[in-house]
Structure 1
Amino acid sequence: MSQVYDSLSVPQGFQAAGTYSGLCSSRVKLDVAMIVSRRDCSIVTATSQGLMTQEGKVLLLHNGTALPDGPRGHEISQEVCQAAGKCMDEAPEDIALVASGAKGQYFRPSLLIHSLKTLTAGLGNDSQPLEAVLDNSGDVTAYQVALSSGTPGCSLSGIAADGTADSDGLCVIMTDAQAGSAVIEGALAQAKAAIDTENFTFIVMANGMAGSGPCSQEDLAAGMEDLLKKLGFQNSLKACS
């Protein structure tokens, strides 16, 4: 049975598009997405290997094959971000690449590069929903919540997809609140301490487009907890004393 996706309402200043690259040897599965912010935003990625932080405007997300470890993975990331920079007239350092999925598979950066024109043409058209790229043939949920009264007019949108036997689940969170990488890291750590997020990769993007003052770590953490519960995550089990 095919999955039917609702159109995700993204926060102010974000656009997204998805397509298939063929990197996963499939002309059916959408496997690459582009999320673009109108202004520079903080991008934090939390994986089982640790945290990565970056300031930029563009996130390229491949779901299906992980980047190789070591220098080769770095070379691929640089090559793809250079090509994306030329395609979008952005500096390569303003572009982040995250590739999640099975490890040890042959990774052909040319296939992602060939997808860039399709992705940029699809921005804002909602022709291929972001949820479909995250889909691993399991549960996919999308939801939007408002942040607390301390950050009026700000929202959090999230998409979560189950993992597979070969790869972790994925959760992408976007917010138009103003929050730097350190605040996002702290808020994500608080939320993950309260919610069972084992075996999930998280990507959080914050662009400040709502125009309110800086969001506190506590307000952002509370919003993340609320969002994750709406997405189907459960409270962490506490050890019996």
Structure 2
Amino acid sequence: MAYTLIPGGVTTPAGFTAAGTHCGVRKNKEKKDLAMIYCEKPCGACAVYTQNLVKGAPILVTQRNIRQGRAQAVICNSGNANTCNEDGVQKANRMCELTAKALKIDTRDVIVASTGVIGQTLPIDPIAEGIPVLAASLSKEGGADAAEAIMTTDTVRKELAVEFSIGSATCRIGGMAKGSGMIHPNMATMLCFLTTDTDIHPELLDKALHEAVGQSFNMVSIDGDTSTNDMVSIMASGLAKNPKITDFGDGYQIFLCALKALCTALCKQVAKDGEGATKLLECRVTGAKSLPAAKTAAKSVICSSLVKAAMFGADANWGRVLCALGYAGTPIDVTGVGVAFESRAGRIQVCENGAGMDFDEEKAKQILLEDEILIDVTLKDGEAEATAYGCDLTYEYVKINGDYRT
């Protein structure tokens, strides 16, 4: 399927504008803390949510608001998660009401999100003052400010877009994401807001989002902690004027392929920016007996603290990879396992048929000193494959999380 990843973000598709500002939720005035995305017309909309039983109030409100498959705006603050607060739902509702009033839209057409510290009361007054400012400053150029405003411990903005054709129409999907810590596979474990001008039936939009998330964001792990607040949402304006996607035919397959590509690119940005991380890790498992088995094995390797620490130290300790495969919870033929490490510096096979082999330790070290590393696991159990994404485990991770709240 033909698609092109392009620079851009949530304002790249037709009909969408955005803005970001500092309103005062965060004490640091140099950090933006309130973001808004708006579409000129009501959109088809859906979302995928965290599976943590403790859910932030914005999740509960958004679930209710877009149950009818429609939305027109997103409002999101950083610096406070609005989770485990007695008045959380009330304040999430208030954020929707204020946004709706400023944009002159229905309150139920607002997706609301919050990210930051859990268990602290969300100050609503600065948000009430900031929302009209955002509404007045919405623009096609405001996507970068919005992407910055949802950051917490992130060190870089995460935004991208993809372009493709359906019939004679050019369609686009744009996205922005945040995520650096408290990230573990079990949707959604970060915030990601997607927009598209593709004309697609809401039920098919929902189907495509779930499939794309299953192969991308659900395959990311930074630290094994599933967040309380997070979700991936998408709004579709239909302004590309493509032949409307109403079945699982060619148009749907093109859209799905492009959506998967964008979600995968964004989730790799999240993984690479893990708290304290110096390296993006990918674990590709091939030859598994089933897709669930491949996913389970790949996640187990990426989640292993020992593997992550070894990658930080550029130590080709392949035994830790086999150990993670062994406790993954899916049966594998251990005597058929192969492991190789690969990066821009080259590739080296370190294990074959479940046993170690002679390899050049110095070459392996040079490969593992790069900032993007592939752990390539081959099995002899079947034809299925999957890839998981993560990062190394560093001293800095402990430092960041040791005083995150204070």
Q: TM-score, normalised by structure 1?
A: 0.82
Local SS of the residue matching 1:220: helix
Partner SS state of residue 77, structure 1: helix
Paired with 2:140 and 2:199, the residues of 1 have a C-alpha distance of 26
Q: Which residue of 1 aligns with 2:150?
A: 134
Q: Aligned equivalents of 1:63 and 1:166: distance in 2?
A: 16
CA RMSD between the two structures:
3.0
CA–CA distance in structure 1, aligned partners of residues 23 and 283 of structure 2 = 36
Does 2:64 match 1:29?
no
Structure 2 counterpart SS, 1:41: strand
Which residue number in structure 1 is paired with residue 240 of structure 2? Answer: 210
Matched to 1:158, the amino acid is: G
Using the TM superposition, give the Cα deviation of residue 19 of structure 1 relative to its aligned residue in structure 2, in angstroms.
0.6
- Asked whether the 8 Å contact 1:42–1:205 carries over to 2, the reply is yes
Q: Which has the higher helix share?
A: 2
Report deviation, 1:150: 5.4
Deviation track 1:16-50 (CA, whole Å, cap 9, x = no partner) reads 00111211333121111111101101232323148
Change (3 A) 1:185 1:23: same
CA contact 2:85–2:120 (8 Å) conserved in 1: no
State which of 181, 184, 188 in structure 1 corresponds to 2:205: 184
Report the identity percentage.
20
Q: Contact between 1:194 and 1:236, CA under 8 Å: does it hold in 2? A: no
Q: Work out the CA distance in 1 between the residues paired with 2:31 and 2:97.
A: 25
| Equivalent residues of 1:37, 1:58 under 8 A apart | yes
User: What residue is the counterpart of 1:221 in the other structure?
Assistant: 256
Hey, what does 2:328 align to over in structure 1? none
Q: Which amino acid aligns with 2:26?
A: C
Are 1:62 and 1:98, in contact at CA under 8 Å, matched by a contact in 2? yes
Partner of 1:46: 48
Is contact 2:215–2:264 with CA below 8 Å preserved after alignment?
Answer: no
Shift of 1:236: 7.0
Q: Does 1:85 align with 2:106?
A: no
For residues 76 and 224 of structure 1, do their structure 2 counterparts lie closer, same or farther at Cα, with a shift above 3 Å needed?
same
Given candidates 11, 19, 22, the residue that maps to 1:20 is: 22
The answer to whether the 8 A contact 1:63-1:101 is kept is: yes
Of residues 128-137 and 107-116 in structure 1, the stretch that sits farther from structure 2 once superposed is 128-137
Q: 3-state SS of the aligned residue for 2:87? A: helix
CA distance in 1, matches of 2:168, 2:149: 30
CA separation in 2, counterparts of 1:178 and 1:90? 21
SS at match of 1:106: coil
User: In structure 2, how many angstroms separate the alpha carbons of the residues matched to 1:42 and 1:83?
Assistant: 22
Gaps of 5+ in 2: 1-6, 53-58, 269-281, 286-293, 298-378, 382-406
The separation in 2 between residues aligned to 1:109 and 1:129, in whole angstroms, is: 21
How is 1:43-122 mapped onto 2 (pairs within 5 angstroms)?
A: 43-49=45-51, 52=63, 53=66, 54-69=69-84, 72-122=87-137
- Equivalent positions of 1:185-200 (< 5 A) are 185-195=206-216, 196-197=219-220
Once residues 201 and 103 of structure 2 are traced to their aligned partners in structure 1, the CA distance between those partners, rounded to angstroms, is: 24
Alignment CA distance shift 1:191-1:85 (3 Å): closer
- Counterpart code for 1:26: N
Supply the AA of the counterpart residue of 1:193. G
Structure with more relative contact order (C-alpha pairs < 8 Å, separation 6 or more)? 1
Task: Report the count of equivalent residues.
Answer: 236
Structure label with greater radius of gyration: 2
Check the 8 A contact 2:35/2:147 in 1, yes or no.
no
Query: What TM-score, normalized to structure 2?
Result: 0.51
1:235 CA drift (Å) = 7.7
Q: Secondary structure at the match of 1:99?
A: strand
